[in-house]
Amino acid sequence: METTKCQNKFKRDPSRGFTLVEMVVTLAVFSLIMTAVTGLFFHALRAHRVVLAKSQMLGEAAYNLEHIGRGLRMAKKTSDSGCLSAKNINFEKTARGGVKFQNLNSSGTMDCVEYYLGHPGNDYGANGALMESRSNLDRTFELPLTSPAVNVEAFNVYGYGWPQNDRLQPRTTIGLRIRGRQDQVMNHQITISQRDLDIEE
């Protein structure tokens, strides 16, 4: 009989509701779960932004290095000193730290082409951008190759076999350092050999 009285004493009456202690414990547990879930959500969001920024940087670097590589590969030896400073040379470093050469365009005339690191302003702000300068008898233009979403911090050009009398096939190495929106930095490098044989003329 005493056991039944003891059990009845601690038995919860459904009509009484929750005690203050039960409510405080429930709220504390719920708050901890919500804090953990919110933290995981924001962490996943930050990671997603970083991945998107890296993907954009990789895409821009790959496209632009391929574009520059195609131009350097198809460079033609100069027949006069109109584009480059001398006759019968393939490439030349410029005062802007870029590389200059001549190339056939789609209409069959020669373009004087330069790739360099510039600061176009406007949407780019203080960001650096890969620039292409192209000129021929009909037109001249300069345009940025990279978008304002990336900051090109360095564009380095190294030439091997550029002189005419060294008996080496011209090769050009391009080094590129890009900073993305999430402050990641990527370094890229490509070496291109000229397609035409460097035969003395």
Sequence letter at residue 119: H
Scan for tokens 């601690």, then name that residue: 10
Under 8 Å between Cβ of 81 and 87: yes
Under 8 Å between Cβ of 78 and 196: no
Domain parsing of the chain, residue ranges: 49-193
pLDDT tens per residue across all 201 residues of the chain:
555 555 555 565 666 677 888 888 899 999 999 999 998 998 888 888 888 888 888 888 999 999 999 999 998 888 776 788 888 888 999 999 999 999 888 787 889 999 999 998 888 888 999 999 998 877 888 999 999 989 999 999 999 888 877 788 889 999 999 998 888 899 999 999 988 887 655
Q: Residue count of the chain, please give it.
A: 201
Question: Would the pTM of this model clear 0.85, i.e. be above it?
Answer: no
What residues have CB less than 8 Å from 168, skipping those under 6 apart?
A: 160, 161, 198
Q: Are strands 110-118 and 99-104 parallel, antiparallel or unpaired?
A: antiparallel
